Amino acid sequence: MSRDPEIRPAESAEALQEAMAEGFGFDWTADHVTHLARTLELERTRCVFDGAQMVGTCGAHSLRLTVPGGSLPTGGTTFITVRATHRRQGLLRAMMRAHLDDVREREEPLAVLWASESGIYGRFGYGSAALAYRGRIERAHGAFARPVEAAGQLRQIDVEEARKLLPPIYERVLPERPGHIARSEAWWESHLADPVWERDGASKFRYVLYEEAGEPRGFLQYRIQTRWHDSGVPNHILSVVELQSVDAVARAALWRYALDVDLVGTVIAWNLPADDSLPWLLADARRYRPSWRDGLWLRLMDVPVALEGRRWETEGRIVFALRDELCPWNEGTWELEAGPDGARCCPSQAEPELRLGAEELGTVYLGGDRFAALAGAGRIEGSTDAIRRADRLFRWHCAPWCPEVF
Ligand SMILES: CC(C)(COP(=O)(O)OP(=O)(O)OC[C@H]1O[C@@H](n2cnc3c(N)ncnc32)[C@H](O)[C@@H]1OP(=O)(O)O)[C@@H](O)C(=O)NCCC(=O)NCCS
């Protein structure tokens, strides 16, 4: 593009879908538009136009994200594409500028996204903040070390019941796990919609509920991909879409169910928290094949509001110097004094004990990753003592995890 990009909201869901499908390289139908429109905030899109043609797409969801001990308004970046003819000319950079300005105007102290490739968003101050673990186990090796002592029952439910019974379970889990997103009715509608083009040859969603004395305490949402060996031996794949439970017993009961479905050869989960109990339930844990990838990326848009908006399990004080080229209002030296009763984060004249960039602060914010690991990679500077204190302070008792891509 020879002139400055013109950035404005998309005029319709259909126009956005058309340009986005081009950028991601898939064919779209009217059903895609219906699905997109469920959660679309058209006024928050920031698209690039070259004449009449939409050549760049960028959108945002107005989210509420669970952070350690609380939740904060959050701009959820989404729908990012640039048409292949217009790439590497600065269009993504221009859209991110417009998007970050919008998030700041709305006073959302955090911004989050899922990335198609892990090399893109660090430069925009986003850090990999919650990992997504993939787990795989052959059903033949699915025996548990100890029997599940579950007093409740499992019950298959259909999508109508899922619409009623899944949200209250999620509401109970939501505040406990940093990285979760509050789901509106429209988000549930989208989450359970199950369009055929998302099934990749597998079955529609199946739902199993774990109940005790009639009270729902956990659910498993999954698909089955039917497969038969040439010899006639069944070898189906059970893919866990989401497993949520209010306690460990419900979780174990649901895992037991997943590992006991006849004709299934392999159980795969595409996105589990780092501290999921499955490997510890198994009698032969070495047969479990975990691998991880980046999941939720997070950026602090307002450093004091974001840090004062989460909770802390121990007392601590740290002075750090932050680099944030794209959001210069965050730059400078900050003193964080935090403890179980809350935190105070103020500009400081003191000598910084740590030096880090916006990306690294985004990585450690939810309490999952370690200052020490980032320092070991040369990404945070500071004395061993300061790094250890920061690690103790930021740590949270459970791993951050985002159960859905948006
Ligand atoms: C990823 C994509 C949006 C980048 O758009 P673009 O307009 O070419 O990006 P820009 O020209 O603004 O590049 C901005 C910076 O990002 C870098 N960058 C762009 N795409 C990158 C990629 N895929 N991996 C790593 N870096 C990338 C550029 O080198 C540039 O770096 P610099 O300014 O720090 O030197 C575009 O390639 C695309 O549409 N890809 C397919 C769809 C997709 O993956 N979308 C992202 C969904 S999360």
Q: What is the mean pLDDT of residues 194-201?
A: 95
Give the chain's mean pLDDT.
97
Q: Whose CA is nearest to atom 10 of ligand 1?
A: 90
Pair (108, 144) in one structural domain: no
Q: Which of 26, 83, 88 to mutate to test the pocket of ligand 1 (most atoms within 8 A of CB)?
A: 88
Pair (28, 104) in one structural domain: yes
Ordered strands of the 342-347 beta sheet? 342-347, 332-339, 316-323, 354-357, 381-382
Q: What is the reported pLDDT for 5?
A: 83
Q: What is the reported pLDDT for 29?
A: 96
Instruction: Residue 131: name the closest of 144, 118, 120, 147 by CA.
Output: 118
Longest dimension (CA), the chain: 74
Q: What is the mean pLDDT of residues 290-318?
A: 98
Pair (238, 366) in one structural domain: no
Q: Is-contact 78 406, C-beta < 8 A?
A: yes
Active site residue 406: yes
Q: Whose CA is nearest to atom 9 of ligand 1?
A: 92
Question: What distance in angstroms lies between residue 301's CA and the mean position of ligand 1's atoms?
Answer: 21
57 pocket-lining for ligand 1 (C-beta < 6 Å): no
92 pocket-lining for ligand 1 (C-beta < 6 Å): yes
- Nearest atom, ligand 1, residue 116 CA: 48
115 pocket-lining for ligand 1 (C-beta < 6 Å): yes
pLDDT interval class at 3 (50, 70, 90): confident
In eight-state DSSP terms, residue 181 is B
- Nearest atom, ligand 1, residue 92 CA: 12
The HSE-up count of residue 49 (CA atoms within 13 Å, CB side) is 13
Q: Is residue 13 part of a domain?
A: yes
**Tokens for 44?**
């928050």
Question: What distance in angstroms lies between residue 120's CA and the mean position of ligand 1's atoms?
Answer: 6
Q: Is residue 100 part of a domain?
A: yes
Q: Whose CA is nearest to atom 32 of ligand 1?
A: 123
239-265 tens-digit pLDDT: 999 999 999 999 999 999 999 999 999
> How many folded domains does the chain comprise?
3
- Nearest atom, ligand 1, residue 114 CA: 48
286 pocket-lining for ligand 1 (C-beta < 6 Å): no
Q: Is residue 126 part of a domain?
A: no
Q: Is residue 32 part of a domain?
A: yes
Provide the terminal-to-terminal Cα distance of the chain, rounded to the nearest Å. Answer: 29
Pair (78, 104) in one structural domain: yes
Q: What is the reported pLDDT for 265?
A: 98
Q: Quick check: 2 pLDDT over 70?
A: no
CA dist., res. 193 & res. 212, Å (int): 28
Query: Which residue bears the tokens 């004449």?
Result: 51
Q: Is 91 exposed, middle or buried (0-12, 13-18, 19+ CB in 10 A)?
A: buried
pLDDT interval class at 280 (50, 70, 90): very high
Instruction: Residue 74: name the closest of 118, 23, 17, 129 by CA.
Output: 129
Pair (372, 286) in one structural domain: no
Asked which of 233, 261, 292 is the last residue of a domain, the reply is 292
80 pocket-lining for ligand 1 (C-beta < 6 Å): yes
The contacts of residue 33 (CB under 8 Å, 6+ apart) are 13, 14, 17
25 pocket-lining for ligand 1 (C-beta < 6 Å): no
1 pocket-lining for ligand 1 (C-beta < 6 Å): no
Q: Which residue segment(s) compose the domain that 170 sits in?
A: 133-292
Active site residue 126: no
Q: What is the reported pLDDT for 331?
A: 98
What CATH number has the domain bearing residue 150? 3.40.630.30
* Three-class DSSP category at 359: helix
Q: Which of 92, 123, 293, 325 to mutate to test the pocket of ligand 1 (most atoms within 8 A of CB)?
A: 92
90 pocket-lining for ligand 1 (C-beta < 6 Å): yes
Q: Quick check: 201 pLDDT over 80?
A: yes
Asked which of 257, 274, 292 is the last residue of a domain, the reply is 292
Q: Is residue 197 part of a domain?
A: yes
Angle between helices 13-24 and 30-37 (to 10 degrees): 110
349-380 tens-digit pLDDT: 999 999 999 999 999 999 998 999 999 999 99
What CATH number has the domain bearing residue 340? 3.30.1050.10
Q: Whose CA is nearest to atom 29 of ligand 1?
A: 88
Pair (279, 342) in one structural domain: no
CA dist., res. 146 & res. 223, Å (int): 27
Q: Is residue 123 part of a domain?
A: no
Asked which of 292, 315, 335 is the last residue of a domain, the reply is 292
For the full predicted model, state whether its pTM sits above 0.85: yes
Query: Which residue bears the tokens 């974001």?
Result: 306
Q: Is 89 exposed, middle or buried (0-12, 13-18, 19+ CB in 10 A)?
A: middle
Q: Quick check: 142 pLDDT over 90?
A: yes
Marked catalytic residue, from 210, 365, 371, 406 = 406
Q: 267 phi and psi, to 5 degrees?
A: -110, 130
Q: What is the reported pLDDT for 342?
A: 95
Marked catalytic residue, from 121, 126, 222, 288 = 121
Pair (372, 227) in one structural domain: no
Pair (188, 255) in one structural domain: yes
Q: Which of 70-74, 117-121, 227-231, 378-382 has the lowest mean pLDDT?
A: 227-231
Q: What is the mean pLDDT of residues 283-301?
A: 98
